Amino acid sequence: MRFSKLLMVALLALPGLALGELSASGLPATSTWYFHADLDEMRGSDAGKPLYAWLQREVFADVREDAGIDLDKEADRITAFSAEESGAVVVVEGNISQQTRDKLIAIAAGADEFDTLKHKGTTFYYAKGDEHGKDGDIDVDSFENGVYFTFALKDRLLATSSREQMERLLDSKGALPRRKTDRGTLMVLTAEKSLIQAGIQADQIEDKGDGGWQSNILKNTEQLAVMIADAAGKIAIETQLIATQPEMAESLASIVRGLISLAMFSEDMDPEVAEFLKGTTVAVDGSSLNIRLALDPESVVVALDD
């Protein structure tokens, strides 16, 4: 497993920059995407446990086999984001053992480029392999030029895509500058028992140009945010989309309602999932489109396996 992939997987537990749930004020004003997962909340919540078991089986087991690192025991929260002026930041919070630190440094040392650096007496590292950059359909523009990482902050693995950002965060002990307002930044959905939060500027999502409803939604969207939370033992999924104009939000709502209706009457649809879809709410407020539904945790795991 390449170091960059391992580091991004480790991302499932970012702290210092955002202990507990993430808020808009915890992100730079020019953020283009963010991701936050609270593994500790998953382990302790009724709805989160099946999802966490899936991560253990499908993600953590691979990391353990490939790198000998047990994220299940050492990662509590993961937060990642990217800002236009400073690039990507990843923070993994948890009880990161010395053995794990040694293994990560050894993996990084095997990259095409590796260096041990200092900033005001604090040690951090730089590694660059032969393959960095785009991952899936989202152009995160993150670590294609290498990754800077350190264990200097207590109970945290901190990684950045630029040396300048690393040095700024070391100076502030991992804290971002306080923002007076949330205006102009990516929207962040929150809940009492949030498990996963994510958001992105629409122009960061790759449109493959195939036409159809997917392209129509993307080209008329400015921002997209998703949250998965524990709501009375169910997996609550909320998606909020900011359209380019109010009329477009209404049109997109009609598309979503139509897609839900088609799915509900599909012969391939699980009856239990169809029943949950009946409870899906689609609401429009100006240019904002909000979609909410609650699912049985086991149904979500089945969907992930499919």
Positions of the chain with pLDDT lower than 70, given as ranges: 1-26, 29, 130-142, 177-185, 205-216, 269-273, 275-276, 306
Q: Where are the domains of the chain?
A: 3-171, 194-305
Q: Mean pLDDT across the chain, nearest whole number?
A: 79
- Say what the pLDDT of residue 289 is: 93
Condensed to tens digits (0 to 9), the pLDDT of residues 254-288 reads: 988 887 887 777 777 666 667 667 778 999 999 99
What is the pTM for the complete model shown? 0.79
- Say what the pLDDT of residue 195 is: 92
Tokens coding 128: 């660059």
Percent of the chain with pLDDT over 90: 30
- Say what the pLDDT of residue 283 is: 94
Return the residue matching tokens 């895509």: 161
Name the nearest CA neighbour of 233 among 297, 301, 304, 299.
297
